[in-house]
Amino acid sequence: MADILCVGQMVADILVQSVDEVNFSTDTKRVDKILINNGGDCLNTAIDLSKLGAKVGFIGAVGQDPLGSYLQNVLKNNGIDDSGLYVDKTSQTSSVVALINSAGERVFLYYGGTNDILSFENVNKEMIADAKIVHVGGTFQLPGLDGEGTRQLFKTAHEHGCFTTMDVTWDTSGKWLDIIEPCLPELDLFMPSINEAKEICKCEEVEKIAESLKERGVKNVIIKLGKQGCYVDAFGKRYYQSPFKVPVVDTTGAGDAFVAGVLYGLHMGWEIERVTRFASAVSAHCIQELGATVGVPEYEKVLDFINEN
């Protein structure tokens, strides 16, 4: 039985470092490193949660191919309940090529594959009944689940007494609010990044963005601000949380690690200020290593880091 159920995007990441420019008139360019790693907003968050010590379940979709087998092994090796994994015989597993520059910034080249077919119909409902928190990650790249499907998922979660949370990725369709508005009244905590939040609300001011989301039915909001930390309008508190200053190797998965920290803290029953401080520390560990989840340690090491800093 999982205390936290993660539903959504899972991807095989092909990481290429360092790429400061690409010239298509040149046949070959040497790079420092190419790795295959796990990726996808939701899978990253699930792995980080498991590394922190939470009991985690995962619902997503993969194909019957080498990358799908790789991601299934990733779940098993991280002690994550994969009984809700949907294996599709006709689609290829989703993958990403991540080009990372010398500053640790990255751009994703994304293939949707099996993420495009995940829907409420192939969600294991028994796993929802067992969870305390139901989190959806990768919204805007889950066309079979986004919007109405997520509303049904959250409604079912509420019927079982679960707390609902959501994170989003970039909407390549440009529809933004039109896609997710149906599920917002069923959403207990929304955690978008600032660039995505601006597009959703068509607003530049972070505090007004949070207010706009709450007017549309979201109960609590945390907006990730990258190197500026985060803004919190949640559980009756409004404040900015500053980040920890650490050397940056790769920002891939930083937001997913932050979300994992938030979910872990909420599951532990902490006050929101302690939750976001802990989440910022988890994210600080993530960006010091190459790969979306490699740098996240166990819970005790995060606490030691906070005490030392």
What span, in angstroms and rounded, lies between the C-alpha atoms of 195 and 226?
Answer: 10
Alpha-carbon span 104 to 182, nearest angstrom? 36
The enclosing H or E element of 215 equals helix 206-215
Compute the distance between CA of residue 21 and CA of residue 288 in angstroms, rounded to an integer.
23
pTM: 0.92
Average pLDDT over residues 140-151: 97
Query: What's the confidence (pLDDT) of residue 11?
Result: 94
Banded model confidence at residue 103, pLDDT cuts 50, 70, 90: confident
Looking at every residue in the chain, the average pLDDT score rounds to 95
The DSSP element (H or E) to which 189 belongs, if any, is strand 189-190
Length, in residues, of the chain: 309
Give the side-chain half-sphere CA count within 13 A for 239: 11
Residue 50 pLDDT: 98
Question: 15: Cβ–Cβ under 8 A, 6 or more apart, which residues?
Answer: 33, 34, 35, 36, 37, 98, 100, 250, 252, 290, 291
Q: What's the pLDDT score for residue 88?
A: 94
What is the bridge-based pairing of β-strands 11-17 and 33-39? antiparallel
The helix/strand/coil state of 6 is strand
Question: Among residues of the chain, what percentage have pLDDT more than 70?
Answer: 100
Contact 256, 202 (CB under 8 A): no
- Give the mean model confidence (pLDDT) for residues 97-111: 87
Token readout for 257 is 């690690």
Taken in order of first residue, the domains within the chain and their CATH numbers are: 4-20+34-171+250-308 (3.40.1190.20)
Burial of 292 (0-12, 13-18, 19+ CB in 10 A): buried
Given a cut of 90, whether residue 250 has pLDDT beyond it is no
* Closest to 305 (Cα-Cα) out of 228, 240, 246: 246
Cα–Cα distance between 259 and 222 in angstroms, integer?
10
Q: Which of 237, 301, 224, 206 is nearest to 45 (CA)?
A: 224
The two beta strands, 230-234 and 220-224, are antiparallel
Task: pLDDT band for 136, please (50, 70, 90 cuts).
Answer: very high
Lowest mean pLDDT among 94-98, 103-107, 182-186: 103-107
Which single residue is written with the structure tokens 């050397």?
A: 247
CA 303 to chain centre: 22
Taking CA atoms, 145 is separated from 24, 199, 255, in Å, by: 37, 20, 21
Does the pLDDT value for residue 300 go beyond 90? yes
What secondary structure letter does DSSP report for 145? T
Using an 8 Å Cβ cutoff, are 209 and 195 in contact? Answer: no
Residues 165-190: what's their mean pLDDT?
97
- 8 Å CB contact between 154 and 128: no
Residue range 205-229: mean pLDDT, rounded: 97
**203 vs 217: CA distance, rounded Å:** 17
203: its two tokens: 């607003």
Scanning the structure block, which residue is given the tokens 């792995």?
A: 47
